[in-house]
Amino acid sequence: MRPLATTTLPKILCVVGARPNFVKIAPILAALRGAGRIRTHLCHTGQHYDSELNDSFFTDLDIPRPETRLDVGSGSHAVQTAEIMKRFEPVLDAERPAAVLVVGDVNSTLAAALVSAKKEVPVVHVEAGLRSYDRSMPEEINRVLTDRISDLLFATEPAAIGNLAREGIPQDRVRLVGNVMIDAMHRQLTASTPPARVLARHGGMPRNGYAVLTLHRPSNVDDPAVLAALLDAVREIGRELPVVFPIHPRTRARIESSGLESRLSLPEILVLPPVGYLDMLGLVREARLVLTDSGGLQEETTALGVPCLTLRDNTERPVTIDEGTSTLVGNRPSSIAVAFDNFRRTGGKRGRVPALWDGHAAERIAVELDAWLRGGSAIPR
């Protein structure tokens, strides 16, 4: 794309709030700024604020310093969403962007989209159309509502296009561009930290490999009985394959408030504080197995070819099951044990990398966004 004179460039206001947003915005900002045809303004809502969930991601992913910070912090869904809306409105008024770009499905995504749509500022949603069809997930509500009020929707996989069509979203608003989370992974893979270095600080590298565990979904961590059973299942796995467990602050708080700390003080489970992006990428790429309830990790393991047991009953990312390395296992110990036994016998599920998960999704977004802002469309539909 040919760069334009800065004064004539349309401005896109990009909004991030929580850890997975940071990973997604990094390649998008790089592509938009690299093409030189769109100005960007980055607004950080402050939904995530701890250094391990926040600053380290900006450093690891080379994300420019946000021009605006809303510093909302934690709260109930209502409080957090409302606080973001209140604080975002004056930013939108002051910046007067051509469009607001939101990513993913966190509370910051919906809050910024809602303010923008009500002010008739066009909304662009990256990672549109994913559906778990499980309304007990807060993210599902965020996804459905954000897509409903978006003007331009970028999808990662074909199933998302079908979901949007069934909801009556006009197809001329939707573009299949691939997965920006995988762009970020490709950009940072060579810089990822060797696992021995990450683990040296936490008990050393297990001799015959390790599994990585992450847990943070309310459905897995909020009910003490569910959480205790999950940790017991993990301990059984740890007897054969040591489990590296970087703990999300939400999960640590639940473990402490439920008095479950003793479930973790075992040699077969290596408990880590939340790790930065490069440390996590290093851990995952060398892992023999990943157990997770994270959407991003389902995608990254598929792209890296690492077997993944997804500790949920459903997923909004079916391509990671149909084509990738993920198996839906749920959170019952008996199902986890069966899945682990299968992994042990077969070496784990193999898969292929889905179409357009090639490291160039953000570049396609930049091309398409530029054409859309100028009234055309670059990608044939």
Residues serving a catalytic function are 216
CB 313 within 8 A of CB 328: yes
Nearer Cβ to ligand UD1, position 93 or 222? 222
For 42-59, b/e burial (b = at least 16 CB within 10 A) is: bbbbbbbbeebbbebbbe
Distance in Å, CB of 334 to ligand UD1, minimum: 26
Residues near 333 by Cβ (< 8 Å), separated by ≥ 6? 229, 230, 232, 233, 236
Nearer Cβ to ligand UD1, position 35 or 103? 103
CB 377 within 8 A of CB 368: yes
Distance in Å, CB of 95 to ligand UD1, minimum: 23
Distance in Å, CB of 195 to ligand UD1, minimum: 21
Half-sphere exposure of 257 (CA within 13 A, CB side): 10
Contacts to ligand UD1 by CB under 6 A: 18-20, 47-50, 53, 74, 105-107, 138-139, 216, 248-250, 253
CA 15 to chain centroid, in Å, comes to: 14
Distance in Å, CB of 47 to ligand UD1, minimum: 5
Q: 134 exposed, middle or buried (CB, 10 Å; 0-12, 13-18, 19+)?
A: middle
Nearer Cβ to ligand UD1, position 273 or 347? 273
Nearer Cβ to ligand UD1, position 183 or 316? 316
Residue type, 275: V
